[in-house]
Structure 1
Amino acid sequence: MTRVIKLKYTEFAGCIFVDKIAGLNTHTPEYGQRGCVEIYEEELDRKLYPVHRLDKATSGALVFPTSSEVAAELTQLFEQHKVAKRYLFLTDKKSEKKEFTYESLITKEKNSFVSSTSKEPNSKTTFKWLESVGPYELWEAIPHTGKPHQIRLHAEANGIAILGDEEHGGTHFNRLCLHSHSLSFELRGQKVHYETALPVWATAGDLLTDIEALTVAEALERRERMYKFSELPEECLRLSHREIDSYRIDQYGDHLWVYWYKESDPTVQDLLRFEKLAKKHHKKIFIRKMLNRGEDPNAEILWNIGNTSPVWIAKENGVKYELRNNTGLSPGLFLDQRENRLWVQEHAQDRRVLNLFSYTSGFSLVSALAGAQEVCTVDVSQNFIDWSKKNFEINGLNPEDDKYEFWVQDCILFLKGTIRRKRKFNLIICDPPSFGRSKNGVFSISKNFDELLINAMYCLEKNGLLLFCTNYEKWTTGDLHLKLNKLKKDFSFKILPAPSQGVDFELPDQEPLMKSIILRKN
């Protein structure tokens, strides 16, 4: 298993160029929150240098040198205004002027940047009207200097405040419509030009009056800028997460799976939006009703669009999974565990692996493919265990091999039996449901957490690793840390950070729905 779903970037002239998404800081705003540079450093395992910054709400072209020497030279080019920058923005304001240059003095007063006329200006921007886009006006902005909020302040001062920029006189909108379109400069004798794709709001005028459709289009655009998902037609990733509260959209190969959270059924307008989405991206669509945020056992497929299949195969980082439309609330793979599955794959070789609450056994599968010494899979459902074996088979593994065990059993009972047999594992994955029923009773993460973790730790070897995950909405990551620290009276262990979530899910400053943590037993 190798990483196929990778962050996209362009490398040239000793620099990494990225197409930053809106909502992402250029670098970490505070401890524990990654910015754009940290995300790419982590993915590339390389040091990058943030000599160029964009506001959090601004999208587009951003450059990071890969050495301190190039960083020093590029910093000088920025300071000498030898980097040509081109921005695009939308406004709902009309102007008789079509092209002009504006200068002002930008200073910081209290916690805000302000612009004022001055005989000694320190900022200069050239504006040019390009065209009407739906009910709005598209402008080009060329900053000749690089002061904070310069384009936003200068647009406001000239009566063309940027759409969504309420801080600087703009009309409320679902986002700041400001985009860094291109960067050009000459570095070490090389002419460098980096240009990004046009944002949705600059091209799709018909979407600008349908905020929900625009929001979905921008959600997909975010995944395209970060991952180029259009080049990954067989892979699985989330296309719309929390951008719209009423549904989520996942890509499972050539099928899209919509988790529908509204109590009412999709309207004709909703279905037409999905149909248009299916045609544009050559996908088939299932819509699954998810009352009470996934707690309703009677959820059903509401609609399907295109020539859908009840069973199909898709890939995650090259590993094959069988997906089904008629078995539970998910088609068979929880995509928020992608980075955790990669972590398990990297640590499973030659280990004895225990996968609890295995579902369709994504963790077991990647452990086996990585060369685990043994893989023990436990789930209370015979159907999921059979499905797990099918996933092994389609990846060329024999589920009947002596290295692989599949148990249909309550996980806490299995752990207690394992303790009695004095059996130990050196890698345990525990991803329990928030709530579940079986013939042995009711499982609740809030009530059974201590019992589950204590028994799992008894089954873990010294220096062994335990990956624990939960989607329980009433807990934050901080709550999980507090609960784990209380167990230190019974066991000695170190808490390690779990892999960061992919940016097709939460952005770094959002509390994740799926919380993960790694324990190493001392």
Structure 2
Amino acid sequence: MTAATPPLRVIYRDAQLIAVAKPPGMLVHRTALARGETRFVMQTLRDQIGQHVFPVHRLDRPTGGVLVFALDSQAAAALTQAFTDKLVTKRYLAVVRGWGPEALSVDVPLREEDGIRPKAEMPAQPALTHLRRLACVEIPVAIERYPQSRYALMEARPETGRRHQIRRHLARCGHPIINDAKHGKGIHNRYFRDHLGCPHLLLHAAELRLWHPYAERWLTLTAALDAAFAALLARFGWQAHTGSDSARFDPPSVAQAATATLAEPNPESP
């Protein structure tokens, strides 16, 4: 570990998995998008703990927050299956332009954005995101044609995992995430970068709740915001939502009930 590569914040670790707080702007692993990058979450974590790690889900490069890795191939298979079986829930925080809806479920299919195949070759896939406004602010700055500018802190809970789903669904509602270069508006993005000290996409994977296949209990993981994001929330009076790094299991009684539910046969099965 060098001075240029600070250690990752470890949220939770046991014999099968490790959860860290991914910094925004850091790639999870080497890809064709790397283009000279030298810092990757997988490599940094491997060097930090002295053993190989296995990815079981992803976060986009500009998004920070909870990221889980398996510590061996068997655990990787079990955790990947938990994600496939949707035994996982995710909660994100996003700062958006305008006062977003108080509560809204966006059920709009999305085409995958892989940047390789023509869009016409990619059928739209179901995509569902539940949105809730947590806080809003009006600042006395004329960024566009109005003398004031409005922003909101939104909670997003995606039920599907399409690429850039939260960004695209919020933009479709007319409330793009700040510093979203593709779906947002440059004049607002520049103001946040130049005057509010926020150079990255204001989207954060705040919480991930998953069924631990070895402990057979629900594990809830949370990650605190990075310094720039947290400072912005404090500036807007939203510091109650900055969060903290934490990990907790459901009580055994809840876990036992969940196990029984998971084991119940599907009445529609043949």
Equivalent position of 1:127 in the other structure: 131
Please state how far the C-alpha of 1:25 moved relative to its aligned partner: 0.6
Deviations 1:155-212 (A, max 9, x none): 111111101102112441422100000111112212211111144535644646xxxx
Distance 1:204 1:32 in 2: 27
* TM-score normalized by the length of structure 1: 0.36
Cα contact 1:22–1:57 (8 A) shared by 2: yes
Cα contact 2:110–2:124 (8 A) shared by 1: no
Please state how far the C-alpha of 1:107 moved relative to its aligned partner: 1.8
Distance 1:68 1:133 in 2: 47
Matched, 1:154 2:154: no
Equivalent residue letter for 1:105: P
Structure 1: stretches of 5+ with no match in the other structure: 209-220, 226-522
Matched, 1:107 2:121: no
Equivalent residue letter for 2:223: T
Equivalent position of 1:8 in the other structure: 9
Give 2:183's match in structure 1, choosing from 168, 175, 183: 168
Cα contact 2:8–2:20 (8 A) shared by 1: no
Please state how far the C-alpha of 1:128 moved relative to its aligned partner: 0.3
Cα contact 1:26–1:36 (8 A) shared by 2: yes
Cα contact 2:111–2:124 (8 A) shared by 1: no
Please state how far the C-alpha of 1:106 moved relative to its aligned partner: 2.0
Call closer, same or farther: CA 1:13–1:88 in 2, change over 3 Å.
farther
Deviations 1:117-172 (A, max 9, x none): xx974211100000125642100000101111010111111111101102112441
Give 2:51's match in structure 1, choosing from 46, 51, 60: 46
Q: Give the match's secondary structure for 2:104.
A: strand
Cα contact 1:99–1:129 (8 A) shared by 2: yes
Q: Give the match's secondary structure for 1:153.
A: helix
Matches within 5 A, 1:435-514: none
Please state how far the C-alpha of 1:23 moved relative to its aligned partner: 1.1
Equivalent position of 1:59 in the other structure: 64
Equivalent position of 1:398 in the other structure: none
Cα contact 1:184–1:193 (8 A) shared by 2: yes
Q: Give the match's secondary structure for 2:163.
A: coil
Distance 2:182 2:84 in 1: 27
Call closer, same or farther: CA 1:33–1:203 in 2, change over 3 Å.
closer
Deviations 1:291-329 (A, max 9, x none): xxxxxxxxxxxxxxxxxxxxxxxxxxxxxxxxxxxxxxx
Cα contact 1:134–1:206 (8 A) shared by 2: no
Q: Give the match's secondary structure for 1:184.
A: strand
Give 2:85's match in structure 1, choosing from 74, 80, 91: 80
Root mean square deviation, CA, Å:
3.1
Call closer, same or farther: CA 1:150–1:120 in 2, change over 3 Å.
closer
Deviations 1:461-517 (A, max 9, x none): xxxxxxxxxxxxxxxxxxxxxxxxxxxxxxxxxxxxxxxxxxxxxxxxxxxxxxxxx
Cα contact 1:107–1:114 (8 A) shared by 2: no
Equivalent position of 1:145 in the other structure: 160
Equivalent residue letter for 1:71: A
Percent identical across equivalent pairs?
30
Distance 1:103 1:158 in 2: 11
Higher relative contact order (CA closer than 8 Å, sequence separation 6+): 2
Q: Give the match's secondary structure for 1:107.
A: coil
Matches within 5 A, 1:302-451: none
Equivalent residue letter for 1:193: T
Equivalent position of 2:27 in the other structure: 25
Equivalent position of 2:219 in the other structure: 192
Call closer, same or farther: CA 1:90–1:184 in 2, change over 3 Å.
same
* TM-score normalized by the length of structure 2: 0.66
Call closer, same or farther: CA 1:32–1:167 in 2, change over 3 Å.
closer
Deviations 1:410-430 (A, max 9, x none): xxxxxxxxxxxxxxxxxxxxx
Please state how far the C-alpha of 1:94 moved relative to its aligned partner: 2.6
Q: Which runs of 4+ in 1 moved over 6 A?
A: 112-115
Equivalent residue letter for 1:164: N
Distance 1:143 1:13 in 2: 29
* Number of aligned residue pairs: 204
Cα contact 1:90–1:202 (8 A) shared by 2: no
Cα contact 1:162–1:176 (8 A) shared by 2: yes
Q: Which has the larger radius of gyration?
A: 1
Call closer, same or farther: CA 1:14–1:110 in 2, change over 3 Å.
closer
Cα contact 1:108–1:114 (8 A) shared by 2: no
Call closer, same or farther: CA 1:6–1:111 in 2, change over 3 Å.
closer
